[in-house]
Amino acid sequence: MGIELEGKVAIVTGAARGIGKGMATALLKAGAAVAITDIRQETLNETSAEFDKIEGARHLALMADGTKDEEVNDAVRKTVDAFGRIDVLINNAQSAVTGINIEDQTVADVMNGIDTGFLASFRYMKACFPFLKEAQGTVVNFASQAGLLGNVGMVGYNAAKEANRALTRTAAREWAQYNITVNCIIPGMLTEGSKEFFDANPEHYKHSLANIPLGRLGDPENDAGALVVFLASEGAHYLTGDTFNIDGGRCMRP
């Protein structure tokens, strides 16, 4: 990849599989020490065992629920105890109730997306702030094509992802005085979950590819991972408050 992050420390939430795992892998290979968090213990253990095989990689696997202040604070404390600092925070974790239109969704359904996404990002940012301030670090939040396009049956998820963009812009302005950069990514990746869905719905896969100018879905490590490695590097430290589409051109914006 050509970018060295030796000496930097990152936290990646929701990193037991999918995009989070791909980004954590890329950060590890670039030389960063990485704490990965998730709520799936078995999958977290499997990913941790894979990371043990990466030569020279330093990582920490932590069970942590982003909806619980005490677990977020504990994960941040354990990361600092293990590695001495935090330079990079990647807020990737999210769950949501989907497939139900607005008139049939409950407030609890909507709040599931808000709490696991937007508020979890907010919690991690608050907990990491003193260390990011000291390191003049970097935050990467996640938005979604679904939020941009208003995908049906996904109001809580869509709202959480668009709220993440507002959080990103606000933090970018407030934390610029500390030389902390805050950006957002809208991904279009082929993950284990999306592959399972596409295998069961091949016509949907064809339709998705037809709407991507580059004709493919992205790779979590080589595409999303490469972008976060760049954003974590000194070469990207004049970029802040922006949203980066990494989706093969599907959601081009003026």
Residues identified as active-site:
157
Strand order across the beta sheet in which 88-90 lies: 59-63, 33-38, 9-13, 88-90, 138-142, 181-187, 243-246
Closest C-alpha among 1, 215, 222, 22 to residue 34: 22
* DSSP-assigned letter for residue 14: S
Bridge partners of 90? 12, 140
First CA to last CA distance, the chain: 29
* DSSP-assigned letter for residue 2: -
